[in-house]
Amino acid sequence: MNEILEGLKAASWLVLTFDSDLVEITLRSLQVTLTAVAIASLIGLPLGAWLAVHRFRHRRATIALLNALMGLPPVVVGLVVYLLLSRAGPFGVLDLLFTPTAMILAQIVIVTPLIASISHQAMRDLWASYHDLLISISTRKRQRIATLLWDGRRALITAALAGFGRAIGEVGAIMIVGGNIEHATRVLTTAIALETGKGNFDLALGLGFVLIALAILVNVTTHMIGRTESEGKW
């Protein structure tokens, strides 16, 4: 109990003094995760809508696979991305290992199935109610997908936020592909792991509280923007 209080104290101290290292790793956490979630959303949201609209042979198997991929162990993703980006690996020449870009790539792999799967569930329900109408208006497949994405945007924001939640707290994969290098690839979660390793529980916990506050802040902000944009319109 005492250590949790110490952690809260450390967190407030770090925030109140606007600690420059804290600001740096917090911004990097945001930069890595927001970029990864943005790219994963660009892939996952339309993929989910496409799976809702398009009928093809192995559709059920594809959806089952996607749902299974939601549970991808981040450490395994990290290891595979590491082996791909390693100098000895196929993409070694790109020199991306131990950079924020590598961390973004790993997080895209982890988060895309989650976003696509949640998107698919929301789009499937919306498609069930829109199906007859959109067929009747004789829309093309691309238009159907675009319509579902636009009209289902609130559910899709939830999908993106779920992706953000998984990515911002992830440590296993980005530790491996980022390397937790100070001033280069250290983010909140890897810093927490490092400080825990040193037995600095109050500092680790303080960083943890900052991480939680950050996640809440992003969620609340997103919901506020979403509401002011569309209140009373539909």
Q: Which residues bind another protein (CB under 8 A)?
A: 28, 31, 34-35, 38-39, 42, 86-89, 92, 95, 97-101, 104, 129-130, 132-133, 135-139, 143, 147, 151-152, 179-184, 194, 196-201, 232-234
- Smallest distance, Å, CB 179 to another protein? 5
Buried b (16+ CB within 10 A) or exposed e, 167-176: bbbbbbbbbb
Nearer to another protein, 18 or 150 (CB): 150
**Paired tokens of 102:** 């590598």
Q: CB-wise, 220 or 229, nearer to another protein?
A: 229
When the beta carbons of 39 and 72 are compared against another protein, the nearer one is 39
Q: Least separation, in Å, of the C-beta of 92 and another protein?
A: 7
Q: Which is nearer to another protein, 117 or 180 (CB)?
A: 180
Q: Is 67 exposed, middle or buried (0-12, 13-18, 19+ CB in 10 A)?
A: middle
Q: Which is nearer to another protein, 62 or 200 (CB)?
A: 200
- Nearest distance from residue 181's CB to another protein, in Å? 4
DSSP string, 35-95: HHHHHHHHHHHHHHHHHHH---TTHHHHHHHHHHHTT--HHHHHHHHHHHHSTTSTTGGG-
User: Which CB atom, from 71 or from 199, has the smaller least distance to another protein?
Assistant: 199
CA distances, 40 to each of 111, 114, 117, 145 (Å)? 6, 9, 12, 17
Residue given tokens 């936020």 in the structure block: 161
- Could you give the 3-state DSSP secondary structure of residue 139? coil
Sign of the CA dihedral with 143 first, then 148, 154, and 155 last: negative
At its nearest, how many Å lie between another protein and the CB of residue 99? 5
Q: In whole angstroms, how close is the CB of 206 to another protein at the nearest point? A: 13
- Smallest distance from another protein to CB 185, Å: 8
